[in-house]
Structure 1
């Protein structure tokens, strides 16, 4: 099977130091893209970039807190110092919260989910759109979740933030379609990432089995499986797709 071609593209990934972001960085680097690995954990980002370069890839690291507009602005400036044109941004930085009834979720945790998962995407999209509208277009890929497409009992704050991401994706995609800017969302279910493993570690055996077996395939997704779909979206092979939510959930929503 021929891999999706992203050779020569400049792709920036937030939350790129681990999980789906790191898997995407590896896949895209292997396929010839210049990859910016942006993360709040700069040590993780730099370690990954070192690994990518050792393997012959072209990558750079930048620290960012996506909840801070000034830091997001600085991240884009750092990206433009590497290459003047940005082809794709993958808004992947995100958090979750431990499953609990809505009334037991702390207000601060609700606001943190909104700030990171939704406002962070908003700040990054605004910067990317300003750049892409005067540079011939581009592609924005927002990492949402199946929890943004359906009910998600016990993770209401997370679900609300991801529904918001999908709303932003659809609305902006229509606004900027004629500017040659495509905007899509990727909606995974439970994937074997440090974030999901962190939740699993706090559950009892019954809870763990329920989470792992929540889809018909009865397993967690692999970060590489999500990364392969993201790579296709980054390529020109997906050139007629915009405003869509690409679901990778092992059949959960079927």
Structure 2
């Protein structure tokens, strides 16, 4: 009997794979038989994740990349194509946030960085994925967005703008490339217990921390394994009729 969310033999590239959701997804997918390349700017952490997967007997490789650079993204995809022999799934997870602030107080550099990494970086990777997948029968691109891309996100205006853009790119590409058998879907988590969220919490007072933790009706942060398990399902053949969808993992915030 084929196990649920079977990804055996799938060739998968994950950006932002050195920590958080990306690292958890890489290790889970590899443990289920996928061949994985992770890309990240954090070289030491990325190498550690790859080593952890290799020590468990799985195929996990790392390459440093800055997703804001189109040239570096193309180099990453060329590396993955050569190392894996092709790409079946690309998970665009690399992202940043910014210190919560009213829109009129947000610094130019914070807005620019969020757009450069979260939106243009995803666009670079989507474009590279299409170039690799279209001549080879298709594939699946999974963009990690956020519920901040589906609703208002007070004091997170730059982050929200970038994630709304990711969902727009996802839906547009899903229609443009359906005939090429390339599917595009987005994963939209709420606050997940990742290093990025913990870094934000550390900068807030107790009231601010509690407002984030209790934003979900479940009254807690999401866990990385809850998101990586959903990504694993999307990466499997079981999601084969899903295209152009924004998949929420928010404990009920959008209900």
Fold-level match, TM-score > 0.5?
A: yes
Shift of 1:85: 1.0
Shift of 1:3: 3.4
Indicate yes or no: 2:54 matched with 1:53. yes
Shift of 1:84: 2.1
Instruction: Name the residue aligned to 1:43.
Output: 44
**Structure 2: 5+ residue stretches without partners:** none
SS at match of 2:238: helix
Shift of 1:213: 0.5
**C-alpha distance in structure 1 between counterparts of 2:137 and 2:107, whole Å:** 44
**C-alpha distance in structure 2 between counterparts of 1:148 and 1:29, whole Å:** 29
Computed over aligned residues only, the root mean square deviation of the Cα atoms, in angstroms, reads 0.9
Tell me the TM-score normalised to structure 2 length: 0.98
Higher mean alpha-carbon deviation, 140-149 vs 36-45, is at 36-45
| 1:74-223 matched pairs, under 5 angstroms | 74-223=75-224
Shift of 1:74: 0.7
SS at match of 2:222: coil
SS at match of 2:252: coil
Instruction: Name the residue aligned to 1:242.
Output: 243
Shift of 1:81: 1.8
Q: Which runs of 4+ in 1 moved over 4 A?
A: none
**C-alpha distance in structure 2 between counterparts of 1:31 and 1:2, whole Å:** 9
**C-alpha distance in structure 1 between counterparts of 2:220 and 2:200, whole Å:** 15
**C-alpha distance in structure 1 between counterparts of 2:208 and 2:220, whole Å:** 14
Instruction: Name the residue aligned to 1:19.
Output: 20
SS at match of 1:134: helix
**C-alpha distance in structure 2 between counterparts of 1:84 and 1:128, whole Å:** 14
Higher mean alpha-carbon deviation, 57-66 vs 81-90, is at 81-90
What is the total number of aligned residue pairs between the two structures?
A: 254
**C-alpha distance in structure 1 between counterparts of 2:90 and 2:240, whole Å:** 15
Q: CA-to-partner distance for each residue in 1:111-156, whole Å, 9 max, x for gaps? A: 1100000000000001110111100000000000000000001000
Instruction: Name the residue aligned to 1:7.
Output: 8
**Structure 1: 5+ residue stretches without partners:** none
Tell me the TM-score normalised to structure 1 length: 0.99
**C-alpha distance in structure 1 between counterparts of 2:32 and 2:96, whole Å:** 28
Indicate yes or no: 2:69 matched with 1:68. yes
